[in-house]
Structure formats: C-alpha cells, structure tokens
Chains A and B, each alone.
Chain A
Amino acid sequence: MNRWAFWLRRLVAGAVALVALSLLIFGATELLPGDAVSAVAGPTATEEERAAVRERLGLDRDAATRYLEWAGGALRGDLGTGYLGARPVTEVVGARLPHSLLLAALALAVTVPVAVVAGLAAGMRAGGPVDHAVSAGTLLVAGLPEFVLATLLLWALAAGPGLLPQVSMVPLGGSPLDAPEILVLPVATLAVSGIAVATRLIRARTADIAATPYIEAARLRGVTGPRLALRHVLPNALGPAVQALGMVTGALVGGAVVVETVFGYPGIGRELQEAVAYRDVPLVQGIALVLCAIALAVLLLTDLLARALDPRSGGAR
C-alpha cells in the first residue's frame, strides 16, 4: 500500500472514531445522574426559576438538536460555556491542558528508557533470573491501582521524611516549572505504572525475537550482550515497542485524573473530576472530547512511526 493512502485511511478512521466517541460522551453525560438545573438554580428555587434556568441552558430542547449544536460548535473550536462561573470550556482546557501535558511528557521521558532497557534485559534471556525479577516486579506494580501507588509514594517520600511537598500547588500566576519539586511525585506515580505496562509489552516482543534463527545466527557469530540486544534485537522490536508506548501515552494523559486529584495538581484531570462533581455538563463533555482526541492523535502518530520504523513495510527508505 502506498504510504499516502495509508496515512489517509488512518486519518479517516481516526475521524470516524472521534465522531463515535463524541456520541458516546454526549450519551453518557445525558445519563449522568443528578440534574444540572438543580445544581445551577439551587435547592430552594421555585418551579418558575427552575424553568427559567432550563430554558437559559437550552435543556428544554431535544437531545439530537443539542448534540448537533454541541458537535458543530466543537468543529468550530467552541466547546460551549460551563454552567458554573460561565467560563468558556475552551478557555478552561487551554489553561489546564498544558499542565497535564507537561506531566505526561515528563512521565513518558522517564518511562521510555527504563521500559526499553528493562524489557530488553528480561526478554533477551527469557526464563532467566533477570526475566523472573522484572516480570514479577512489573506484574506487581501493574496490578496496583494508581491511587494506592500514589498513596504509597506520598507516605514514603512526602508524609514521613518530608522530602517533597504533599500537595502539588502551582504558584499563583506561574507555571509548574517554577516549583519543580511539586512535579516529582505525580510524575513518579504516572511513570511507575507506565513502566510496568510498557516493560511487559516490550519484554514479550523481545523474547519472541530472541528465539529467531537470525538471532541464534548472530550469537553463533560471537555477537553478545548489549550489542546483540541493541543492534540485532532492538531494530526488530522498535515498531511494536513504539505502539506499546503509544498505548501507555494515551493512558498517561487520561490516567492523570486520579493522580492529579490525589496530589491536588491543577491539571485537566482534576478539572474533569470537579466538573463531574458539580454536574457541569458542558465542561465534562468538552474535557472528555479533548482527551479522546489526544489519545486518538497519539495512537495515529505511533502507528505511522511504527510503520516508518519497520523496514518491511516499505515506509523507511
């Protein structure tokens, strides 16, 4: 298949997936328990006041009309206005998303080298002592819920010894980089769980490649150790490894909800959690849609990258 045809097909598939996801998001918020009208109008509102609020929010129209209006606005870059504080959703996303992306990027920067090295080391000698240690360790961590992991790290590094702040407060009007110490715990929590998942995926692929005739041939030519792993195994494991890391990246951006809430970090995940708590439907919808779009974009990019890295696909020439 021609490279451009491949790109085009993936783009179209991504767009279709995004439309389907937007329907799911809209449907899910329709089903969300609780009533935005009660939340906005207050518990003591009279029936007339409630009707006025309903009309003002446009909730008196049917769901299909509201979906089309919302989706059309999203296409023009307008995600509507939040119920609370009447903030435009795009403004909220614009303010919070960079913080979360910074968190995800730092976590990824830690995850990639560690996962590649650990995965290669374990997979090169499948069934050996290194493999047993790495596999058992990653299994343990991968099975641990993120909030438990975050609590453990908090206890070990912040609460007891007081090395790091327990709450990741961003200085007013500043960026998280002004106080780098607040990033350590959230990044560590995200990275540890990312490393566990990515290492397992890379290890499995490495073990498969290490058993091939061409790797045996290289061993019989006297190629050993890091050279065998990096020059002979890694080129073949790179494509699958990139895809594995792509899945992890999607999870890092979305998985920030728990971590940001635990550490009180002002990212988009925490904003989403608060929006759900306050029944701020437009904000929930907008943030969820942006997160879905980011995850899809990352997957699309890693697919293209994996293809370019695999010499057999005809991508890299």
Chain B
Amino acid sequence: MREPPAPAAVVEIDRLVVGPAAGGPPVLDGPGLRLHTGETLALYGRSGSGKTTLALSLLGHLRPGLALRSGTVRVGGIDPFTTAGRSRVRTGVVSFLGQDPAAALNPGRRLGGLLREAARRSRPAAPGGPGTRERIERALAEVDLPTDRAFLRRYPHEISGGQAQRAALVIATLRDPVLLVLDEPTSGLDRRLADELCALLGARRRAGSGAMLLVSHDRELIGALADRTLRVADGRLLPPGEDTAAPRPAPRPPARPAALVLPSAPPGPSGSRPPAPPAPPGPSGSRPPVLELTGLRAGHGRRITVAGVSLTVAPGGCTALAGASGAGKSTVAHCLVGLHPALAGRLTLEGREVPLDLRRRSPRDRRALQLVAQDSVDALNPREPVRRTLLRPLTGLRGMAPEEAASRVHTLLEQVCLPARLLDRLPHQLSGGERQRVNLARALAAGPRVLVCDEVTSALDTATRDAILDLLAELRRTEGLSVVLISHDARVRAAADRVVVLDAGRPVPSGDAPAPGGGRV
C-alpha cells in the first residue's frame, strides 16, 4: 500500500447510482466519497439505507437484481466494475469481512488450504520478503492462533468460534490489502467475540495497515476504530447528526391510525433508552394470566435441554425469556407454539388447557399463539410476495372474505409502519428490518392473543430495533396483545414486566439471575 505511484485517495466514489435492474427508485442515489490511506471511515444508517450496497460496490459486487446506473468507483485507481479491474481489486487491493466473519470459512476445506490460497493469490511478494509459509505463520501468531501443522489440518468446525473468527480475519488480511471493508462484522457475535474482534481491528489500525471502511451500528466498535463517521440515508451520504453514533428511531409515517398514536416514551438523549415498559392495565395480580406454562420438559433426541420451566404472561403483559445462547430459550418458544414436542408440561390459555402438540390444537388455539421467528430470511417463503404472505393467515386461519382480507392487509402494513408499495415485493427485495416487520405482520394477521417473539431484534440496527419494540408496546396497549419476548439483549428485556432467566435449560431463581448479554448495543 505504500508502493510508489500512490494515488491521492485509496477510495474515490463519485456520484454513484445503483438501482434495481428492473427499474424503480435507486438504492444508492449519487453518494460521493474519498478515503485516504490509513484512514478508517464508519458508515451507519437504518437497514435498507444502502450501506451494504455501497460497501460491496468497492469490490465490484452488486447483489442479484441490482445494476450500476451511473457514477464511478475507483479503488487504488482501479475500476472494480470492469472484469479485469474486479479481479485485481479482489485479489489484492480490497478485502471484505462480512456479518459473522466465521461464516466465510468453507466447512469442507482445511484451514491450511484456505490460508495458502489466500496467501498465494495476493500480489507478488517483494523480492527477498518472507515466503508464503512464513507469512501465514506470522499472521497467525499475530492473532494468537496456533501455527503448527495439526492446527492447519483442522476443518473450520473443529476450532472454536473465536478462533474461526480470527482465522477469517487472517484470511482477509493476509494479502495486506489497501482497503479492508467490514460489513457489520460484530452483529452476529456475542459480546465476548465482538470485543475480541474490536481489539484485533484496533491493533491493525494502529499498525497503520491500509484504510478501513466500517459499516456498523455497533457504537463501541465505531467509537474505538473510526476517524470519521458518515450517515447513510436513502442511498445518500450525510454528515452525522448531533447524535453521531446513535441513530434515532425512525420517524413514524404520519398516516397511522389515530388509535395507535399514544404517548410513547420520548426517545432518550442517546437513543439507547430502554423502551418504556408500559404499565400493565390494572395491577398485575388482580387478573388471571392470559398464558400459563408449568413444568415444561423437552429435549433433542435423548438429551433433555429444557426442564422445569414455568412462565406466566399477564393480559397485555410482556414476559421476557433470557439466558445465554444454548440455554434452551428457542426450544421453549417452539414448545409454546407447539412446534417442538414437549415431554411434559401444562399450558393454559385464558383458563383453558391447550395441548402442547400442535396437531391436537384447535384452529382457535393455533391462531391465539403465534411465533415470530428469529431469522426472517428463513421464516419467509423466498418465492412468495408480501401480499400473499399476509393474505394466507387472513383467509385461511381467520376465514375472511377476499375483499375484507385485502383491505386488512393494508391495515397490517400500516401497523408495522411499512409502505403499501412493498406488497408485491419478494423477501429478498426487502431490507432486514423490512423483512422482520413483514414477519411480524404475518403473525399479527392471525389475530393472536399471545405473540412469541424469538430474538426478533437481534439482526437489526438500533433504530429499527427500537421501532419494533415500540410497535410491540403499542400493540400491547391498544390491542391487549400479550408478548413472550426472547432475547439476550438486556435493553430488549427492559421492555418486559416479567423476566424468566434460563441457564442450561433450567430456570434460574429470580434474585441471583446473572445478566447475560450485558449492555452492549
């Protein structure tokens, strides 16, 4: 990167316009950007604002369905949108590290093979410089990974999550790139791994190795690494607002039903406020719980993963289910909606006993308990447009007439603050936040009494997360909806009026409950 005819700027983006190949509003609407050697620029913005598209344009990569309309991109003087330029840029100039870095490791290849390939494909080493093997060993040692043969012969599933993440970082940086592009590198990681990655990237930055472009909503990461921060909104780059690293919740569309505009807690100064827990209507002890689960026992195969779990949900209340990953939270959620076979336990809904097996539940009981799954990509049918996704529960489960259902679809979209123009999109044409809202709207379409939300906010940025939590709070107030909220995020759990903490499938007595997840945003 410090080689002679060094261009003035590592990255030059000029009036870049990228939009759907089929036509429609652009995803990137003419942003311009310059990034100098040794500089670290952070980009943040709501999901769907075009951050990832901008980051991937530096590698000449456009997601399927998108097309370059106008504008130029130069990285180290090379245009990545030409065939030759793309190959040069990707094999030595720009490296990319995406969400959950370890997912970039091919499960069918040994670490040594992956490392050697990355080293070989880099620009020719300076004469007299270290050989491939030495460079790999040095790079591994830098991040405290073993360098012995036995380690290099391992497959990615045979090393720990932290090691896999460091190995992915080594693979991305082995060629000593001029620019390292990081797209939400910490969003899929728990706090310990996120801190570790942050420290490694900080060390790299201090070593002065090239420029970095960081796309993230992780305030700690931005604070620790960025020289400069820019906000992305509607495909444009804007100077950061007064609340630099903490995007505010999105402004609500004005066209919401009046009944839903209730005074909600005003956003805190930093935007990181815990969503206000609304007072349950009436003292919580005075009314019987809407949902009561006692003595749940379930397992995978012969292994018992959940035992003795009980929880109650007050009418209009919110019960949080917390615990470290692998504690059995999702198993409990799936048992509640009847998708996971329970070995023992009793479930009552509004005083009636409900079978734990979905097949023995009446249509009414099925409607009453709805799941919003963790991963909105997997939860939505990739070939089904939003309209049909929402119509099915309306006409099927609730037996609505087609006209009534069609108008109800619009109400549902308004409830989750989505514009009606998304109705004919397919899931992959939506941003992560939009997809999760569709996922939520589908569950609401069934007219549930209790909504079981499994980590619904974990893949979302702060602003979208807060908007979703506000929405849930409003539904509780206005519709009397009860919510079971599963999350490892302490701020999300703050929305709940009851908290059940699981540890290795057993409930932790309240009082000595640990605080898993911590306060990281």
Say yes or no: A222 contacts B103, CB within 8 Å.
no
Q: Collect the chain B residues with CB atoms within 8 Å of residue A224's CB.
A: 87
Say yes or no: A218 contacts B106, CB within 8 Å.
yes
CB of A241 to closest CB in B, whole Å? 12
Say yes or no for B61: interface residue by CB 8 A criterion. Answer: yes
Complex: A218 Cα to B100 Cα, angstroms: 15
Given A221-B90, A222-B87, A222-B121, A311:B106 Cβ within 8 A: no
Say yes or no for B98: interface residue by CB 8 A criterion. Answer: yes
Say yes or no for A236: interface residue by CB 8 A criterion. Answer: yes
Q: Collect the chain A residues with CB atoms within 8 Å of residue B86's CB.
A: 222
CB of B267 to closest CB in A, whole Å? 34
Indicate with 1 or 0, residue by residue over B82-110, a CB within 8 angstroms of chain A CB atoms: 00001101111001101010011111111
Indicate with 1 or 0, residue by residue over A229-253, a CB within 8 angstroms of chain B CB atoms: 0011001101000000000000000
**CB-contacts of B264-309 with A (<8 A):** none
Complex: A42 Cα to B157 Cα, angstroms: 70
Say yes or no: B118 contacts A221, CB within 8 Å.
yes
**CB-contacts of B300-352 with A (<8 A):** none
Complex: A238 Cα to B91 Cα, angstroms: 27
The one of A213, A216, A231 that contacts B109, using a Cβ cutoff of 8 Å: A231
Say yes or no for A217: interface residue by CB 8 A criterion. Answer: yes
Indicate with 1 or 0, residue by residue over A178-205, a CB within 8 angstroms of chain B CB atoms: 0000000000000000000000000000
The one of A214, A223, A312 that contacts B117, using a Cβ cutoff of 8 Å: A223
Given A220-B61, A221-B90, A214:B104 Cβ within 8 A: yes
Say yes or no: B107 contacts A311, CB within 8 Å.
yes
CB of A48 to closest CB in B, whole Å? 64
A interface secondary structure, majority:
helix
Q: Collect the chain B residues with CB atoms within 8 Å of residue A214's CB.
A: 103-107
Say yes or no: B96 contacts A217, CB within 8 Å.
yes
Complex: A220 Cα to B94 Cα, angstroms: 9
Say yes or no: B59 contacts A220, CB within 8 Å.
yes
Complex: A223 Cα to B109 Cα, angstroms: 14
Say yes or no for B171: interface residue by CB 8 A criterion. Answer: yes
CB of B62 to closest CB in A, whole Å? 12
Given A217-B98, A221-B90, A312-B157, A236:B106 Cβ within 8 A: yes
Q: Collect the chain A residues with CB atoms within 8 Å of residue B105's CB.
A: 214
Counting chain B CB atoms within 10 Å of each CB, the highest count among A215, A221, A231, A312 belongs to A221
Q: Collect the chain A residues with CB atoms within 8 Å of residue B95's CB.
A: 221
Q: Collect the chain B residues with CB atoms within 8 Å of residue A311's CB.
A: 107-108, 110, 155, 157
User: How many residues belonging to B are interface residues under a CB distance threshold of 8 Å?
Assistant: 29
Complex: A133 Cα to B56 Cα, angstroms: 31
Say yes or no: B96 contacts A232, CB within 8 Å.
no
CB of A147 to closest CB in B, whole Å? 37
Q: Collect the chain A residues with CB atoms within 8 Å of residue B90's CB.
A: 219-222
Say yes or no: B121 contacts A231, CB within 8 Å.
no
Q: Collect the chain B residues with CB atoms within 8 Å of residue A310's CB.
A: 108
Q: Collect the chain A residues with CB atoms within 8 Å of residue B91's CB.
A: 221-222
Closest to A237 in B: B108
Complex: A273 Cα to B55 Cα, angstroms: 66
Q: Collect the chain B residues with CB atoms within 8 Å of residue A222's CB.
A: 86-87, 89-92, 121
Complex: A218 Cα to B243 Cα, angstroms: 37
Say yes or no: B96 contacts A235, CB within 8 Å.
no
Seed contacts A217-B104, A219-B61; 9 additional CB < 8 Å A-B pairs? A214-B103, A220-B61, A220-B96, A221-B90, A224-B87, A231-B109, A235-B106, A236-B106, A311-B107
Say yes or no: B103 contacts A213, CB within 8 Å.
yes
Say yes or no: A221 contacts B171, CB within 8 Å.
yes
Complex: A273 Cα to B485 Cα, angstroms: 66
Complex: A236 Cα to B95 Cα, angstroms: 24
Complex: A215 Cα to B89 Cα, angstroms: 18
Complex: A249 Cα to B425 Cα, angstroms: 44
Closest to B64 in A: A127
CB of A305 to closest CB in B, whole Å? 15
CB of B135 to closest CB in A, whole Å? 16
Complex: A235 Cα to B110 Cα, angstroms: 10
Q: Collect the chain B residues with CB atoms within 8 Å of residue A216's CB.
A: 98
Complex: A215 Cα to B106 Cα, angstroms: 7
**CB-contacts of B167-183 with A (<8 A):** 171-172
Q: Collect the chain A residues with CB atoms within 8 Å of residue B103's CB.
A: 213-214, 217
Closest to B155 in A: A311
CB of B75 to closest CB in A, whole Å? 13
CB of A309 to closest CB in B, whole Å? 9
Q: Collect the chain A residues with CB atoms within 8 Å of residue B108's CB.
A: 232, 235-236, 238, 310-311
Closest to A309 in B: B108
Say yes or no: A213 contacts B87, CB within 8 Å.
no
CB of A32 to closest CB in B, whole Å? 43
Complex: A311 Cα to B110 Cα, angstroms: 9
Say yes or no: B107 contacts A236, CB within 8 Å.
yes
CB of B96 to closest CB in A, whole Å? 4
* 29 CB < 8 A contacts A-B: A213-B98, A213-B100, A214-B103, A214-B104, A214-B105, A214-B106, A217-B98, A218-B106, A219-B61, A219-B90, A220-B61, A220-B90, A220-B96, A221-B96, A221-B172, A222-B86, A222-B89, A222-B91, A222-B121, A223-B117, A231-B109, A231-B113, A232-B108, A235-B109, A236-B107, A238-B108, A311-B107, A311-B110, A312-B157
